Each structure stands twice: as structure tokens, then as C-alpha cells.
């Protein structure tokens, strides 16, 4: 992938803004029965025919600690004791790149142990992340030149059982089909976006899209996500998504204002949605808007180096 590609860590868990980022990995309990860590029986990605993907890309896995009322992302807190054990500081715990035609990315499954390599010292440190994990989010990114053409699949794991050979296993995921806009079961939304009819400055506005419905080869639920950042243009697009319910969140980073738009069942590629960030509701009455601090911290977006 191109060096300029940015990656974002997108989580769906709604978390109160009162949760202090001062929390640290060491404040969360250890499950001693997970002797080696946690594992996901997940092999990787295929094209719509079940063959090897013809593109390059990357897979980010984000780690969540804590309880439903207090979820903490150690790799998105730059003051965490083990931040240097994150493969992408400020974003993913692990970040695995792959080449076009490489084959299945994790033929034996994905494993998160209790020892991680410190990217600064190159020594291993005991984080006990495998023993502490309550949730893993697995997110796929196609190469930059095909970013809008291919769906970005994601799935979450929040239960690890049974224990086998020292590892705590999740439900089996198997393989995930990565569709394109040319394949059935996909959708897209696009439209105009301006500030009083004018182009919006670079990186001032971010649009996140979450949603869609798909299943892995074992029937495990899979969704999709997309991100768009303003770069001086007057139009935006989600790119390919799995068809289904979509939540579109627009954030004006200059003011902190956000607006949500929900589609019950989006299909097809001709869905149109305009925004004008200078207008109430960003140009449409009835949108759910927040004109204070966005309290949904699962919309945190991080930019690891590529």
C-alpha cells in the first residue's frame, strides 16, 4: 500500500465521555485460565468466488479492555504503560499487511498472546493483553488505489471459550468474502458537501459510515465501515459497503458539531445525501445532531504510520 495511506481504528461500542483516558492496561484484571492468550479461528479473506484476493491491503486488530460500562482501548491511549507494544501506536494492537495473491492471511487462526514486542526497544514485554482482553475488533483495508471499490469488512469478538492447549478460543469465523461494488449485496452513498456552498478545508470534516449485513463462511455476522476526510472537494462518497442498515456520522472538527443520519436498509449504488456544515442539522431538519462534545468515543479515529 502507498506510504501515504492512513488507517483508522473504528469501534462500535458506545462509551461515555466521562471515561478517563488516564486509565492504563495495568488497571484491568487478568484471567489466569488464559495461559497463552486468546485466539480466533479466522483464516482470512477471499474474493466473491472464494479465491485469493487480487489486491494488497492490511488487517488491523484493535484490543478492548474492561466491562460494558467501562471500555478502554490501550493502543489509542498514548500514555498507556504498554503503548510501545502496539504495532500502530494510537491505533491498532496488531497491523498485518499482505500482498496481492498472497493467499489466506491467518491459515492457522489469529492469536493474541500475553507477550508483545516493544517497537522502540525491540524487546518483548509482558502485557497480559491476552489474559485481559474483553473484545477484539478485526478490520480490513484494501490498497489505496482500490479503497472505494472494495468493501471494508469488520467483525467483533467478545467471548473466548473453550480453552484448548492454553489458549482461550472465540467462535469460529472461517473466511470472509470481500465484495466490490460490482458484486450483489453491496451498496454505496454519495453526495455533495460544502460550507455555505464552498469547498471545505482539508481534514476539517470527517464522515464515518458503519453498517451493512454479511456473514463469514461459518455464519458469523460481519459488517462494514468507511471513512471520508475533506480535502478541498465539494463531494463525498462512502465507497462500497455491505447492503443493509447504515449509520452515517458527520463531524465538523473545527466546531465539534456532529450529525447522524440512519438508513434502515440501503441497497444499490445511487443513494444520494448532501451536507452543508454551515446549516442547522448540516442542511437537513430532523437529523440527530450534537452541538457539544461528541460523547461516542467509539468514533475515535487514529492515524498509524504506513
Instruction: Provide the residue ranges of all domains of the chain, joining segments of one domain with +.
Output: 23-178, 179-291
Rounded CA separation 78/89 (Å): 7
Grid cell listed for 281: 442539522
pLDDT at 264: 86
Rounded CA separation 152/223 (Å): 8
Report angle CA 131, 137, 143 to the nearest 5 degrees. 130
**Those residues with Cβ within 8 angstroms of residue 285's Cβ, 6 or more apart along the chain or in another chain:** none
State the pLDDT confidence band at 209, using cuts at 50, 70 and 90: very high
Do you know the residue count of the chain?
306
Question: Which is it for strands 94-98 and 110-113: parallel, antiparallel or unpaired?
Answer: unpaired
Asked if the model's pLDDT at residue 233 lies above 90, the reply is yes
pLDDT at 305: 34
Helix (H, G, I), strand (E, B) or coil at 298: helix
pLDDT at 22: 57
State the pLDDT confidence band at 20, using cuts at 50, 70 and 90: very low
pLDDT at 19: 42
CATH code, residues 179-291: 2.60.40.1120
Rounded average pLDDT over 257-281:
91
Which one-letter DSSP state was computed for residue 200? Answer: P
Asked if the model's pLDDT at residue 291 lies above 70, the reply is no
Percent residues over pLDDT 70 in the chain: 86
pLDDT at 182: 94
Of 227, 235, 224, 192, give the one whose Cα is nearest residue 207: 227
Asked if the model's pLDDT at residue 70 lies above 80, the reply is yes
Asked if the model's pLDDT at residue 258 lies above 70, the reply is yes
| pTM summary value | 0.85
Amino acid at each position: 500500500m502507498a506510504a501515504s495511506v492512513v488507517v483508522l481504528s473504528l469501534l462500535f461500542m458506545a462509551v461515555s465521555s466521562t471515561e478517563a483516558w488516564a486509565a492504563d492496561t495495568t488497571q484491568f484484571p487478568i484471567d489466569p485460565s488464559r495461559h497463552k492468550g486468546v485466539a480466533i479461528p479466522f483464516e482470512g479473506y477471499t474474493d466473491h468466488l472464494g479465491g485469493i484476493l487480487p489486491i494488497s491491503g492490511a488487517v488491523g486488530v484493535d484490543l478492548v479492555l474492561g466491562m460494558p460500562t467501562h471500555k478502554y482501548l490501550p493502543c489509542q491511549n498514548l500514555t498507556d504503560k504498554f503503548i510501545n507494544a502496539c504495532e500502530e501506536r494510537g491505533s491498532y494492537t496488531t497491523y498485518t499487511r499482505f500482498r496481492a495473491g498472497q493467499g489466506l492471511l491467518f491459515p492457522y487462526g489469529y492469536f493474541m498472546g500475553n507477550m508483545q514486542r516493544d517497537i522502540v526497544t525491540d524487546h518483548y514485554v509482558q502485557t497480559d493483553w491476552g489474559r485481559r482482553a474483553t473484545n477484539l475488533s478485526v478490520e480490513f483495508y484494501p490498497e489505496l488505489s482500490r479503497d472505494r471499490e472494495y468493501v471494508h469488512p469488520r467483525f467483533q469478538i467478545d467471548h473466548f471459550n473453550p480453552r484448548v492447549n492454553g489458549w482461550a478460543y472465540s467462535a469460529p469465523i472461517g473466511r470472509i468474502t470481500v465484495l466490490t461494488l460490482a458484486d450483489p449485496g453491496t451498496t454505496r452513498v454519495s453526495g455533495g458537501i460544502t460550507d455555505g456552498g464552498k469547498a471545505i478545508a482539508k481534514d476539517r470534516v470527517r464522515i464515518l459510515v458503519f453498517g451493512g449485513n454479511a456473514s463469514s463462511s461459518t455464519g458469523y455476522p460481519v459488517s462494514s465501515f468507511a471513512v471520508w476526510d475533506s480535502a478541498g472537494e465539494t463531494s463525498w462518497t462512502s465507497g462500497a459497503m455491505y447492503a443493509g442498515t447504515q449509520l452515517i456520522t458527520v463531524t465538523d472538527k473545527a466546531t465539534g458539531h456532529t450529525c447522524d443520519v440512519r438508513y434502515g436498509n440501503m441497497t444499490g449504488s445511487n443513494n444520494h445525501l448532501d451536507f452543508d456544515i454551515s446549516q442547522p442539522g448540516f442542511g437537513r431538519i430532523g437529523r440527530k445532531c450534537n452541538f457539544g462534545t461528541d460523547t461516542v468515543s467509539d468514533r475515535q479515529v487514529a492515524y498509524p504510520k504506513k
